[in-house]
Structure 1
Amino acid sequence: MGGSDSCESWRNMSNLQSFLHKTTPFVPSQSLPKSSIRESSHWQALGKDTVDCFSLRELWDQYYESSAYGLGVPVRLPTGETAVQYYVPYLSAIQIYTSKSTTALRNVGEDSESDSWSDDSESEKQSKSWDATSEESLSEPDGSWPARDRLGHLYFQYVEYCPPYGRVPLMEKVTELAQTYPGLTSFKSEDLSPASWMSVSWYPIYHIPFRRNVKDLSACFLTYHTISSSFQDNMPGDLEKEGCCNIGGKNGKGSTEAVNRIPLPPFGLATYKAQGTFWLNPESEDQEQFATLYSAADSWLKQLRVHHHDFSFFSTHSTM
């Protein structure tokens, strides 16, 4: 996920905007006629005749480099100096809903249960299981989700319970899970219903140049991304023009080759140890943007009746 150094637009961004920009994967895609997509009723809301689709394998490849070396996010320090903070991505949670039934459902997340993080409160320790629902229990919550037609069939779900030091980077975790659930790497986005999503947790490892006592750089983040093409019309227009600033895939840093790419910017966000004006620039729209993204993540989890351990922890410990 190490974006292209040739993209200098970050200099006009706040630190939060820089982070969100750099953690947006730009996945190689192809345009398919809407009529050719299986269960096309999922896609009728899109306002165009074609749908940009991608393979999940190509999506995970975007995290290849950052899983190995970290993702560099340019930030501006309180002194006015600039630095690059590196983060490692971890798979925090994922749900894959397909347009038609594929295999019997199994819970995987429960195998990774562990004691809560060392400073968890008793209220956070009360739930140790992935509180995902079966298709039968997914009735319409407040009319928001038409149960079966919209959600599709739950093929796979996972949530991480291990503390950060017990986790493996995203690429390694996906490779491990795909041995049991091959759809993780074989499915294409057109196979998935709009309810499919993933959450990535980002933990800092080091920054260059090194500066002592910059506590703001210890912040951690949770980003939420759709892994279905159904929301692509809602993507900001400027993202579609900035495929060079991706997160750095398997083929090198910030490839600028002529390849159609679809951006999957975070639709939700939660933070831990991110505070003050370092991450929320009062001269920008950071506060409003963060509130919108946090609310979207919270609403999404509630609608799908998911207990996301990392989100609960970040929410009860966040000082933003």
Structure 2
Amino acid sequence: MKSSSNLEAFLQAATPLLPWRSSTMERFQGAPSSVWQQPDGKNKDAVEYFALSDLWEHYAESSAYGLAVPVRDAGDRAVVTTMHFVPYLSAVQLYTATKAHLSHPRRHLQVQGSKTDSWSDDSVGDRFAGSGSSSWDAASDEDDSSSTYDGNGSTGVSAKQSGYLNFQYREWDSPYERVPLAHKVAELAQDYPCLMSLSSAELSPSNWMFVAWYPIYHIPAHVNLRGTSACFLTYHSISSVFQDNIHSGLVHDEGEIAALSPFGLATYRMQGDLWKRSGSSDHRRLSELHWAAASWLKQVGAHHPDFTFFTSSHRR
């Protein structure tokens, strides 16, 4: 049987598998308006969803030890090396069907950075920052009632299409100055509890999350494979509106599972043939996933610093 390519192995490993839950409308304060539109033909009294708290919990192990991805040597497919990647929260936007009721004053999140909107290509660890403000702030509809704001003055999807903005964040720091995804979310949730309390059923189709994956080590350590420094950006939808696409049909002890497969991808330092298997569809797959990521950012009118860096570095 033909083995999967290393790219496919990474995409599979980077796919969150979450408990797919079902509940009555009463769980959502009994108000249909608090739940985003359910697909036609679904029971309007029952709501299917996954919890955001389960999503963040999924990244706890990889945040601590790295995501293990088995890769095969391009020259000798019998040689298998396990690469480990650390996930970082690159960007996220959460829109809901109803306005947020903030239980605390808004506090602007800032991380100091340099004056340029780029990294040096000499090192992944070089400074990467924006002009002063390093993250989107959490916001409510009063802040952005008409459209999605990208931080640079341009707009994309209208609020009617998106819903009401509860929270948004994007990372500007270099990888060496970031904390892993699970730790970052725990930090942010202290000021924005919606990160833990919301479910996918309450999130609009415009919700998305981007995860940056950076390699930390590989086993065996002495193996010298060209391409082990590759970095990835995976793009995931986190709305139940696309539940027909994310519902995997897999089952676990308590029920079915939702698989949040990456719908977009960007890469950096992808050298050699390690991730693009000769004679496979990897080249086309990479192109399609990169196009999907760029298309999505354009559609929602969002500026994503990591994507800008990965793309500009790829062209050099």
- Whether contact under 8 Å (1:203, 1:221) holds in the other structure is yes
Q: Tell me what 1:211 maps to.
A: 222
SS in 1 for 2:227: helix
Is 1:311 the counterpart of 2:307? The answer is: yes
Q: Tell me what 2:37 maps to.
A: 43
Give 2:7's aligned amino acid: L
Q: Tell me what 1:4 maps to.
A: none
Cα deviations by residue, 1:55-113 (Å, 9 ceiling, x for unpaired): 1111111011111111100110123201110001010001010111114695855x024
More divergent stretch after superposition (157-166 vs 30-39): 30-39
Matches of 1:166 and 1:292 in 2, distance apart? 31
Decide whether aligned partners of structure 1 residues 42 and 146 sit closer, same or farther in structure 2, where only a CA change above 3 A counts.
farther
Give 1:240's aligned amino acid: S
Matches of 1:169 and 1:73 in 2, distance apart? 17
Equivalent position to 1:277, from 239, 256, 273: 273
Matches of 2:132 and 2:290 in 1, distance apart? 23
Matches of 1:137 and 1:114 in 2, distance apart? 30
Matches of 1:284 and 1:107 in 2, distance apart? 49
Task: For structure 1, list consecutive stretches of 5 or more residues without a partner in the other structure.
Answer: 1-8, 140-144, 244-255
Decide whether aligned partners of structure 1 residues 315 and 37 sit closer, same or farther in structure 2, where only a CA change above 3 A counts.
farther
Q: Tell me what 1:195 maps to.
A: 206
TM-score, normalised with respect to structure 2 = 0.80
Matches of 1:14 and 1:204 in 2, distance apart? 18
Cα deviations by residue, 1:114-140 (Å, 9 ceiling, x for unpaired): 13665169xx9775655799634528x
Is 1:261 the counterpart of 2:269? The answer is: no
More divergent stretch after superposition (40-49 vs 307-316): 40-49
Decide whether aligned partners of structure 1 residues 55 and 275 sit closer, same or farther in structure 2, where only a CA change above 3 A counts.
same
Decide whether aligned partners of structure 1 residues 152 and 93 sit closer, same or farther in structure 2, where only a CA change above 3 A counts.
same
Q: Note the C-alpha offset of 1:38.
A: 3.2
Greater share of helix: 1
Give 2:284's aligned amino acid: E
Decide whether aligned partners of structure 1 residues 37 and 120 sit closer, same or farther in structure 2, where only a CA change above 3 A counts.
farther
- Whether contact under 8 Å (2:90, 2:211) holds in the other structure is yes
What is the Cα-based RMSD across aligned positions, in Å? 3.2
Is 1:138 the counterpart of 2:134? The answer is: no
Matches of 1:228 and 1:150 in 2, distance apart? 13
- Whether contact under 8 Å (2:25, 2:47) holds in the other structure is yes
- Whether contact under 8 Å (1:46, 1:233) holds in the other structure is no
Q: Tell me what 1:14 maps to.
A: 5
Decide whether aligned partners of structure 1 residues 108 and 304 sit closer, same or farther in structure 2, where only a CA change above 3 A counts.
farther
SS in 2 for 1:161: coil
Identity of counterpart residues, as a percentage? 43
Matches of 1:125 and 1:210 in 2, distance apart? 32
SS in 2 for 1:234: helix
Q: Tell me what 2:153 maps to.
A: none
Q: Tell me what 1:299 maps to.
A: 295
Matches of 1:277 and 1:267 in 2, distance apart? 23
TM-score, normalised with respect to structure 1 = 0.79
Greater share of strand: 2
Cα deviations by residue, 1:170-225 (Å, 9 ceiling, x for unpaired): 01000000000000001111111111111110000111112343230110000011
Give 2:37's aligned amino acid: W
SS in 2 for 1:240: strand
Decide whether aligned partners of structure 1 residues 45 and 306 sit closer, same or farther in structure 2, where only a CA change above 3 A counts.
same
Equivalent position to 1:27, from 5, 11, 18: 18
- Whether contact under 8 Å (1:34, 1:43) holds in the other structure is no
Q: Note the C-alpha offset of 1:21.
A: 0.3
SS in 2 for 1:302: helix
More divergent stretch after superposition (212-221 vs 160-169): 212-221
Matches of 2:278 and 2:81 in 1, distance apart? 20
More divergent stretch after superposition (189-198 vs 35-44): 35-44
Decide whether aligned partners of structure 1 residues 288 and 100 sit closer, same or farther in structure 2, where only a CA change above 3 A counts.
same
Is 1:176 the counterpart of 2:176? The answer is: no
Give 2:198's aligned amino acid: F
Task: For structure 2, list consecutive stretches of 5 or more residues without a partner in the other structure.
Answer: 123-127, 149-155
**Greater relative CO (CA pairs within 8 A, separation 6+):** 1
Q: Tell me what 2:248 maps to.
A: 240
Is 1:153 the counterpart of 2:164? The answer is: yes
Matches of 1:219 and 1:156 in 2, distance apart? 30
Give 1:17's aligned amino acid: E
Q: Note the C-alpha offset of 1:39.
A: 2.9
Decide whether aligned partners of structure 1 residues 125 and 159 sit closer, same or farther in structure 2, where only a CA change above 3 A counts.
closer
Q: Note the C-alpha offset of 1:274.
A: 1.0
Is 1:72 the counterpart of 2:63? The answer is: no
Q: Tell me what 1:247 maps to.
A: none
Give 1:39's aligned amino acid: S
SS in 1 for 2:311: helix
Decide whether aligned partners of structure 1 residues 107 and 218 sit closer, same or farther in structure 2, where only a CA change above 3 A counts.
farther
Matches of 1:146 and 1:304 in 2, distance apart? 5
- Whether contact under 8 Å (1:94, 1:198) holds in the other structure is yes
